[in-house]
A = this chain, B = another copy of it.
Amino acid sequence: MFSIIKKQQLSRARTGVLKTPHGDIQTPVFMPVGTKGTVKTMTPKDLKEIGTEIILGNTYHLLLRPGEKLIKKMGGIHKWINWNKPILTDSGGFQIFSLKDMTKITDEGAEFKSYLDGSKHFITPEKAIKIQTDIGADIIMALDECTHGETTKSYAKEAMERTHAWAERCVKEHKRLAKKRKTPQALFPIIQGVTYDDLRTESAKFISSLDTPGVAIGGLSVGESKEKMYHTLEIVIPHTNEEKPRYLMGVGTPEDILEAVDRGVDMFDCVLPTRLGRHGSFWNSTGRHAVKNKKFIHDESPPDTKCDCYTCKNFSLSYIRHLIQENEILGMHLLTIHNLRFLINLTEKIRKNINKGSFSKFKKDFFKNYHV
């Protein structure tokens, strides 16, 4: 499923190709998040124009509305949302456990309340797989217990052990259901352990030993410092199989992508580019900016003079500032296009530089202008 194309010397950065039933994905890759079956403000056409290779869907949201049964009945997620390229769904675990006071966890599974109407739902590892099978993405995730960056060690250990037991059950259920499916799905289990080096090491070894075509690193960028996150990647990655793609869940600022690629990560997703766009912020080569800043009132330049996106080719900061000020959807859409393109463009440049052997220089040059 995954082939490494090129490894960077003096770094764990590498390029690769991940094959799925809906096409190949070039890695390192940034995956836009389409929580409820839509990457907010973007049509499939818009997504293709900016070079999107794969998008995410959130199982938690989709199972509550419209429900996985409807998606299955309508021919699966690809057909229903009109996206014929790869899709990944998470297991719902992250959302369930981030609403802690609405959730009761046992070894069997988790009882949680709907954010829509407070109705009670019970999810088990087997159910998480069944739901994702019905939704029909190319890559699906094992149910895990994601805890906060400040969790005590004893609870971190308990949650990790439960995550491991659940991962085994997910692998088993996935194999059972796979026999009935025409289109194969790849299952990725998730490494946990908060920021405790020994737990992370144990989890990396255990999760990597499972018979799956990829692994994910969860529980990062959830409250810990950036230094701890980068350190944890350095602890985890050497204990994962080199042959499997590594997906760092929920991470995706420009700086985090560069640092994580350097440490061996292949796949990223994050709501930041779309969320920042809707709230009037954008990235360019000098950092992150708020378009409402008064200095942009008469600014005829685009968000990023070096960017090739529709927004930067056609619109001024002056106009986009006005749109955001007026709460106009077009303003949110234009900044979303740019922010997504900025990250996808960054991964394209990262791949090019890894393939040329110049990743370290590229990373260094990037941070010369870019201020976090």
How far is B62's CA from A319's CA once the two chains are assembled, in angstroms?
12
Asked whether, in the complex, the Cβ of A328 is within 8 Å of the Cβ of B74, the reply is: no
- Quickly give the copy total for this chain: 2
Q: Could you say which residues of chain B place their CB within 8 Å of the CB of A70?
A: 297-298, 318
Interface size class of chain A, counting residues whose CB lies under 8 Å from the partner chain: 35 or more
Q: Could you say which residues of chain B place their CB within 8 Å of the CB of A42?
A: 330
Minimum distance in angstroms from A301 CB to a CB of chain B: 12
Binding stretch for chain B, among A18-26, A32-40, A85-93, A120-128: A32-40
5 closest A-B pairs by CB: A38-B330, A41-B329, A66-B322, A82-B314, A36-B326
Q: Could you say which residues of chain B place their CB within 8 Å of the CB of A316?
A: 74, 80
* Segment 36-66 of A: residues with Cβ below 8 Å from B: 36-38, 40-45, 65-66
Q: Could you say which residues of chain B place their CB within 8 Å of the CB of A41?
A: 329-330, 333
Asked whether, in the complex, the Cβ of A40 is within 8 Å of the Cβ of B74, the reply is: no
Asked whether, in the complex, the Cβ of A74 is within 8 Å of the Cβ of B300, the reply is: yes
Q: Does A315 contact B (CB under 8 A)?
A: yes
Q: Could you say which residues of chain B place their CB within 8 Å of the CB of A369?
A: none
24 CB contacts below 8 A, A to B, read A36-B322, A36-B326, A36-B328, A37-B323, A38-B323, A38-B330, A38-B331, A41-B330, A43-B310, A43-B333, A43-B334, A44-B314, A70-B318, A74-B300, A74-B316, A74-B319, A80-B316, A80-B318, A80-B319, A81-B319, A82-B315, A82-B319, A329-B332, A329-B333
